[in-house]
Amino acid sequence: MKVFWSALAIVAFAMVQPIYAQTGAAPNVIITADENGVGTLDFIGGGQYSMPGIPTPDGLFYNMQGPPFLTPGDLLMMEPATPPATQVIVSDIIRFGSLLQPGPVGIPVYGFYFYSDKNDGIDNPADIMGLPTVLLPDRAVIPEGALYIPDPNQPGFVPGFVVEYKFNSDVPDGGATVGLLGMGLCGLMALARRFKK
């Protein structure tokens, strides 16, 4: 029985480990955003704030409320291709950088643009511009729906903070990943009961 619970603990740790693997520390800021302009900025232990996406001529922009040392660059989100194609495709691009506020001074506002592939039609604000045709030199790649915690010099890094980003595409998995995890854990528990008898 001890072997089973040890194995279960290892599996659980392996599932959580990728979230913190890049920095070795738990996040103190969590940012979520989707293709429809819905976003939140959550300071762990300091409150959660609405962070709506703003449609601009350059795309759907999320204002991160200030970090002037935000590392610019592109985060490419990949999804598996639909058969018979076999390669992964870029489904979304998050472009970290700044937007100049209108007016005579042009004060920069720091945050990111959320761009989405419009091949399936335009059904949300991130689709309107489609994907940028030219990428910034600094870039990172993650699977669509994965958590992203940038290292120093990666797009979206903010000095002095461990920021966790969660970008939601317009086709959520409806809890399928969590459901599969739950079924797997139930199966392991049933197996443990069988060995206990």
Number of H helices, E strands in the chain: 2, 11
* Residue 13, in any domain of the structure: no
Look at residues 91, 63, 53, 69 and name the one whose alpha carbon lies nearest to residue 155. Answer: 69
* Residue 6, in any domain of the structure: no
User: Cβ distance 139 to 155 under 8 Å?
Assistant: yes
Query: What are 73-119's pLDDT values in tens digits?
Result: 999 999 876 676 667 788 899 999 987 666 666 778 899 999 988 76
Helix axes 176-196, 2-20, angle to 10 degrees: 160
* Residue 93, in any domain of the structure: yes
Tell me how many domains the chain contains: 1
* Residue 186, in any domain of the structure: no
pLDDT at 197: 55
pTM score, two decimals? 0.70
Q: Which amino acid, 57? A: P
Tell me the two tokens of residue 102. 């209108």
**C-alpha dist (Å) from residue 97 to 40, 62, 85, 189:** 18, 10, 33, 47
Look at residues 98, 85, 93 and name the one whose alpha carbon lies nearest to residue 127. Answer: 93
Least confident range of 11-15, 65-69, 120-124, 162-166 = 11-15
The arithmetic mean of pLDDT across residues 113-138, rounded, is 81
Helices (H), 81-175: none
**C-alpha dist (Å) from residue 34 to 2, 7, 86, 148:** 42, 36, 27, 14
pLDDT at 11: 35
pLDDT band at residue 2 under the 50/70/90 scheme = very low
pLDDT at 191: 44
* Residue 100, in any domain of the structure: yes
* Residue 180, in any domain of the structure: no
Tell me the two tokens of residue 65. 């409320």
Q: Within its chain, how far is the Cα of 129 from the centroid?
A: 20
* Residue 3, in any domain of the structure: no
Q: How far apart are CA 59 and CA 112, in angstroms?
A: 10
* Residue 116, in any domain of the structure: yes
Query: What are 142-185's pLDDT values in tens digits?
Result: 998 899 999 998 999 999 999 999 999 865 444 443 343 344 44
Domain ranges, residue 130: 27-173
pLDDT at 193: 52
